[in-house]
Amino acid sequence: MLTTREPRDDGAVAVLVAILAVVLFGIAALVVDLGMAMETRRDAQKAADLTALASGQDLPDTTVAKQTAITYLADNGWPMAAGNPMTAIDDGNYSNGEVDFSAGNTKITVYPPPRDVGFVFSGVLSLIPGPKAPNGTSVSAKATVEIRSLKNLLPFVLTSNAPLGTNCIKTNQPGIKDSQCPDPTSGNFGYADVGRNDRNTKVLEWNIAKGLDHLPTRYLHEPERSQGLAGTTIQCSGNNSPPTAVVDPNNSPYPDGFNCLPTNTGMKPPQLTDGLVSLTTSCDGRIVKLVSGVCTFVPNNIGTYLTTTQQQNPDSVASNAIPSTILSDPRFGVLPVVATTRLGPGRKDFIILDFVGAYITNVYDKQGQDLTILTTPPTTPSIVAVDAVVFPLRLIQSVGTNNADTGTFLGTGPKIPVLIE
């Protein structure tokens, strides 16, 4: 009688377990290797971020920014390839590290040298038939920093012939008694006829109280800029508009970056008074604040920033002499300087030559009373003249942290490096 023998699979189980063990070990090894690659990628990104933030402080000087980038890459473990680093860092070859500049040299993008990461453990997968595991991967990173300015620009305009030191904002009211504005035609201020994105009524008043909500920049085209610095009026209008001149648009949305400023004359006391003191009934003018429920003038702290002698000749003061705390003082603001010695009459557009800092010290009514020596504003104030100490922005220490309320870099003054990518 014939008998049938059942096939035995004792050895098959052992083989299957061995194969699965190799696969599982290989996958685990690949996870370890990929983890190493990800860790290297994080190191590269950290180096890129730190380098971009450090070298961004040097913009728009690209030569200094490149040297800073080389130093910081090396200090963070990502040195440039052999050779001349200053040549290699902007030769267009991203395999040895690179920096790119854009937006008029107000942005820098840093690319650390890519680094190959070999897969040590995942080579075990090569024991398995079929597609082979990669031997490694190339790790790269990049970071972009943009320098920006604080949105603290006041809608007052300084003409190119105005001296530094104490100046005055003057309305067109006759008989004003102000030692800095001895007669109705004195004063180098007009106002910037600039709109707002958040409202279309009481625009000038809100610009005084809160500062412009979008920012201009310096006009950089030559030779018009040099002519303006020499005292020539450079007006942006019609066929005579200089090259690259961008005037603030007449309707919303209002973007940053215009370099030709609409100006006007004839500041009226109600506008000046509302913006500085009584914009609404809630005490939200520029130089007042609520203290224990009482509307009170913000203290005049100019003496903590500049001595009396320095206020008279601020151009002789060393750079970075004024602490950056002045930026949060409501009496401080930034003023544009335009290429003309006379603003009026009427609305005119002029190229922007520069920006200066200004600190409001005194405000006067038409009787010559300095209202800021009072503890609280009068019930019905009427401001017709304002004194302000004007000084170069280079005197203010730079701010090294991001601020949500920033705008296009003005081309001068405190720089805020913002990591944008």
What is residue 407's predicted lDDT score, i.e. its pLDDT?
A: 75
Q: Are residues 235 and 177 in the same domain?
A: yes
For residue 325, being part of any structural domain is answered with yes
* pLDDT tops 60 at residue 254: yes
For residue 415, being part of any structural domain is answered with no
Last-in-domain residue among 122, 141, 160: 141
Average pLDDT in the chain: 80
For residue 420, being part of any structural domain is answered with no
Q: Are residues 46 and 67 in the same domain?
A: yes
Specify which of 124-138, 223-237, 268-282 reaches the highest per-range mean pLDDT.
223-237
Residues 104-111, mean pLDDT to the nearest whole number: 90
In tens, the pLDDT along 304-343 reads 999 999 999 999 999 889 998 898 899 999 999 999 988 8
Q: Are residues 171 and 320 in the same domain?
A: yes
Q: Are residues 66 and 186 in the same domain?
A: no
3-state secondary structure the chain: CCCCCCCCCHHHHHHHHHHHHHHHHHHHHHHHHHHHHHHHHHHHHHHHHHHHHHHHCCCCCHHHHHHHHHHHHHHCCCCCCCCCHHHHCCCCCHHHCEEEEECCCCEEEEECCCEEEECCCHHHHHHCCCCCCCCEEEECCCEEEEEEEECCECCEEEECCCCCEEEEEECCCCCCCECCECCCCCCCEEEECCCCCCCCCCHHHHHHHHCCCCCCCCCCCCCHHHHHHCCCCCECCHHHCCCCCCECCCCCCCCCCCCEEEEECCCCHHHHHHHHCCCCCCCCCCCEEEECCEEEECCCCHHHHCCHHHHHCHHHCCCCCECHHHHHCCCEEEEEEECCCCCCCCCEEEEEEEEEEEEEEEEECCCCCEHHHCCCCCCCCCCCEEEEEEEEHHHECCCCCCCCCEEECCCCCCCEEEECC
Q: Are residues 98 and 234 in the same domain?
A: no
Residue-range definition of the domain harbouring residue 78 = 10-141
Domain count, the chain: 2
Q: Are residues 188 and 257 in the same domain?
A: yes
Q: Are residues 161 and 128 in the same domain?
A: no
> Cβ(334)–Cβ(394) under 8 Å?
no
Last-in-domain residue among 115, 141, 167: 141
Q: Are residues 295 and 181 in the same domain?
A: yes
Phi, psi values for residue 170, rounded to 5°: -130, 130
For residue 95, being part of any structural domain is answered with yes
For residue 174, being part of any structural domain is answered with yes
For residue 406, being part of any structural domain is answered with yes
Q: Are residues 253 and 338 in the same domain?
A: yes
Alpha-carbon Rg for the chain, nearest whole angstrom, is 32
In tens, the pLDDT along 343-352 reads 877 789 999 9
Q: Are residues 172 and 33 in the same domain?
A: no
For residue 3, being part of any structural domain is answered with no
* pLDDT tops 60 at residue 387: yes
For residue 336, being part of any structural domain is answered with yes
Residues 238-264, mean pLDDT to the nearest whole number: 87
In tens, the pLDDT along 160-216 reads 988 899 887 766 555 444 455 554 444 456 789 999 998 888 999 999 999 998 888
**pTM of structure:** 0.72
> Cβ(206)–Cβ(218) under 8 Å?
no
Q: Are residues 238 and 315 in the same domain?
A: yes
Residues 270-275, mean pLDDT to the nearest whole number: 89
Last-in-domain residue among 141, 167, 182: 141
Question: Of 357, 210, 361, 213, whose CA–CA distance to 286 is shortest?
Answer: 210
What is residue 281's predicted lDDT score, i.e. its pLDDT?
A: 65
Q: Are residues 127 and 170 in the same domain?
A: no
